[in-house]
Amino acid sequence: QKEVEQNSGPLSVPEGAIASLNCTYSDRGSQSFFWYRQYSGKSPELIMSIYSNGDKEDGRFTAQLNKASQYVSLLIRDSQPSDSATYLCAGPSNAGGTSYGKLTFGQGTILTVHP
Amino acid sequence: ETGVTQTPRHLVMGMTNKKSLKCEQHLGHNAMYWYKQSAKKPLELMFVYSLEERVENNSVPSRFSPECPNSSHLFLHLHTLQPEDSALYLCASSKKYRADNTEAFFGQGTRLTVV
C-alpha cells in the first residue's frame, strides 16, 4: 500500500468556485502533512502545512486533517486561473526504518481553473 | 541569494559522459535531499543527508553518486547514465530530525536529458 495516495483528478473548476483536493495516507502514526503546488516545468512550492487534527486556514487555502479517517484535504476558495497547477500531498515517510525528515508524495492532482 | 539554488537548470548528456549537479541552500537547514521526478510518477526520494552524513539511500543505482561537503552544499555526480534516467532532479532542504515537523523546500530543479 502506498504511504500517501491522491486518487482524484484531473480536476476542472470554474473561476470563483471552491476546488477540493483529497489525499489518504496509510501510516496511522503520521503527525504532519504538506501540500505543494507545482506549476508546469517548475519545482514544488510549499503552500500549506498541517500538524494537528482539524482545519488550518491561510488566505484562500484551507487544509483539513482527519486522523481518524486518515484523510487530508486542501480547499481553495475563490479559485483563480493562476491556481491551475498540480497539487502534491506529502507526509512523513518511515520507509527504511527511520524518517529523518523524509517525505513521501502522492502522485499529484492536476487542477485547471477555467475563466 | 535565498532559498535553495540548483545548477545547472538544464543538462543534456551522453551515456558515456560524467557530469555533476549542484545544490546550495541558504536557509540554515541541516538536512538535504535529492529527489527524482519522472513523467507520470510521484516524486521519488533518492538520498538524504543530515549534518553531511548520508542517512538514507533508497536503492539508487551506483551511477548516481551523492556528495555533501557541508550542510549548505549537496552534489549529485552522474556517470554512464541511461536514457531512462532522464527526469527532473530536485534538491530540497529541511530542518533536521523532526520526523513529524519537516517542511522541505525545493530548488528549481535540473532537467536532465540523457541521449
Interface with chain B: mutation pick from A100, A104, A110, highest number of B CBs within 10 Å: A100
- Give the residue from chain B lying closest to A97, CA to CA: B56
CB contact set of B40 (below 8 Å; sequence gap of 6+):
none
Tell me the Ramachandran region of residue A14: left when phi exceeds 0, alpha when psi lies from -120 to 50, beta otherwise.
beta
B50: closest chain A residue by CA: A100
Contacts of B41 (CB under 8 A, 6+ apart): A107
Contact between A100 and B104 using a beta-carbon 8 Å cutoff: no
Identify the closest residue of chain A to B34 by CA–CA distance: A102
* pLDDT tier at A74, thresholds 50, 70, 90: very high
* Mean pLDDT of each 10-residue bin along chain B, 115 residues long: 89 94 94 91 88 75 94 95 96 73 88 96
Is any Cβ of chain B less than 8 angstroms from the Cβ of A115?
Answer: no
Strands B110-114 and B87-94 turn out to be: antiparallel
CB contact under 8 A, B100 and A31: yes
For A5-24, write each residue's pLDDT tens digit.
997 779 999 999 999 999 99
* Residue A48 in contact with partner chain B when CB distance is under 8 A: no
% of chain A with per-residue pLDDT over 70 = 91
Contacts with B65 (C-beta within 8 Å, 6 or more apart), sequence order: B76, B77, B78, B79
Under the banding of pLDDT at 50, 70 and 90, the label for residue A92 is confident
Tell whether A101 lies on the interface with B, counting CB pairs under 8 A. yes
